[in-house]
Amino acid sequence: MPRPTSSVAVCRLALDLLNSQGVENIEAPTSTIEILCDRWYDVTRMKLLESANWVFAQNSEAIPRGGTPTIARYADYYVFPNNYLKLTAIKDWDYPLQKWDYRIEGKKLLINNAGESSIDTFFIQDFEDVSTFPGYFSNLLAAELALSIAVKLTSKPSLLTFLSEYIKELRRVAYGSNGQVQPPRRFELSKIKQVGLNPASQNQVAGQYNFLFDPN
């Protein structure tokens, strides 16, 4: 069987799990089932993309400075592109997000960045090309979609329970496969360096330190 290459193909996989009729077109739906698939496909896909740091959906981009926020805590804000879904790293993908002082408001990244015209970011993008979805992701997406539309199509508690348990197993496999593509990396931060700079206040104590951003 060929891999899914379109949203319709993913919907057909979802309907197989529900033992339901197929679909021909969800861009211009005519049947009840096509309307349901059209209604739930994109929101389910985006929810799943945001649920993990999928390697295939990662993007890196220097996003432009948009101006100065109205609050005093941050000196700069930068504007994410329209395909942005979830931030995964700032400036260096090896440096953990929790070590930065920042705030996200809609499509804006608020941060202190010395007025630089852009800032490097890494994020999960709104990835739509089904033909390049890994098999584990297509399988999981079909199951998640089946659960989303099952409530409308069936009242069988046993089917909903089956789908929930099936999704748990698919997630385990998907997360494992995703981790093999880009294994997690352990990082250690010097306690001395952490004491040496407070990113929130931009204050330093005496000493020679190397940072991933300009403390001045």
What pLDDT is stored for residue 1 in this prediction? 56
Q: Is residue 185 part of a domain?
A: no
Q: Is residue 71 part of a domain?
A: yes
Q: Is residue 183 part of a domain?
A: no
What pLDDT is stored for residue 8 in this prediction? 96
Q: Is residue 69 part of a domain?
A: yes
Q: Is residue 37 part of a domain?
A: yes
Q: Which of 75, 74, 98 is nearest to 194 (CA)?
A: 98
- Domain of residue 102, residue span: 26-139
Q: Is residue 10 part of a domain?
A: no
Q: Is residue 15 part of a domain?
A: no
Domain count, the chain: 1
CA dist 12 and 21 (Å) reads: 8
Q: Is residue 78 part of a domain?
A: yes
pLDDT beneath 70: ranges in the chain: 1, 155, 181-216
CA dist 91 and 97 (Å) reads: 10
What pLDDT is stored for residue 190 in this prediction? 55
What pLDDT is stored for residue 22 in this prediction? 84
What pLDDT is stored for residue 71 in this prediction? 87
What pLDDT is stored for residue 3 in this prediction? 83
